Amino acid sequence: MGTFGRRLLLAVDAKGYGGVDVVTQREWQEAIRRLLEEAAAEAGLDWEQWATQVGGDSVFAVLPQGASEPALVDPFMRRLEAGLRAFNRNRRDEAWLRLRAAVHFGTASPAANGFEGRAPVEIGRLLDSRVLKAALVAAPEAHLALAVSATVFNDVIGEAYTTIRPQEFREVRVAEKEYAGRAWIRVPGYDAKALDLGEAGGTPAGTGATGSTGSAETVDARPSSTPTAPGDTVVQVNYGTIHAQGAVFGISK
């Protein structure tokens, strides 16, 4: 039987790594490790105690028991974003190092080849989600796009344990492979709620169709700005229970 434990997890990945030359890749790899170490020191997190898995332009880290969640979300991310801005200063646009980052807290236990549990899988889905990638694309001057899980947002940001206000985050739906859940995205320097995430953005909280005794989430199969032409079929997928007595559902041409 494995050892059960809940841990704080961080994952980062560079945008466009495969499209740059070898010299730039080497510079990015060196910069990612240095910037993470500097951010950890600034936040009072002991980098030497982190269990890390490095994959070129990506890093997955499991922090030691008792590591501070507010420190990782707030001073760590602020220092990381500042470090990225400094690194990118005076570099040509195509050589900018831009990172996606994800933070999660959940079950993760040491295993033969790293860590096992739900949390390592879930943070990977957050990091690689279409919506987080879309956020970085929609904010071309941003150096960092951060996604935090519902657990981290509710327990840390929502409870005001950080200097970052909840209003700076945008709630989105993430559906990647076998994972489906909610995440909160922040893009320093941008209003995350104003970014055009297209279909990847899902439906903001509170805007789904609701009934008197239940709720449903509606996800459009196409962007709301797309005009409907004659002959088009418009499909909506509803999650949950819709109470609509006497209503008729179908396709109208």
For residue range 210-231, list pLDDT tens digits in order: 333 333 333 333 333 334 333 4
- In which band, very low, low, confident or very high, does the pLDDT at 5 lie, cut at 50, 70 and 90? confident
pLDDT of residue 191: 97
| Domain spanning 6-201, CATH class | alpha beta
What would the pLDDT profile of 82-139 be if each residue is shown by its tens digit? Answer: 999 999 999 999 999 999 999 999 998 877 777 888 899 999 999 999 999 999 999 9
- Flag whether pLDDT at 200 surpasses 90: no
* Strand-strand pairing, 6-14 and 99-107: antiparallel
Percent of the chain beyond pLDDT 70? 77
DSSP letters, 196-217, are: --GGGG---TT-S-B-SS-BEE
CA 222 distance to own-chain centroid: 22
Residue 251 reports pLDDT greater than 60: no
CA distance 35 to 87: 9
Question: Per the confidence metrics, is the pTM higher than 0.95?
Answer: no
Tokens of 27: 């510079």
Cα 117 to Cα 140: distance, rounded to the nearest angstrom: 35
Whether 240 and 216 have beta carbons less than 8 Å apart is answered as yes
Domain extent listing, the chain: 6-201, 203-253
Average of per-residue pLDDT values in the chain = 82
Whether pLDDT at 187 is above 70: yes
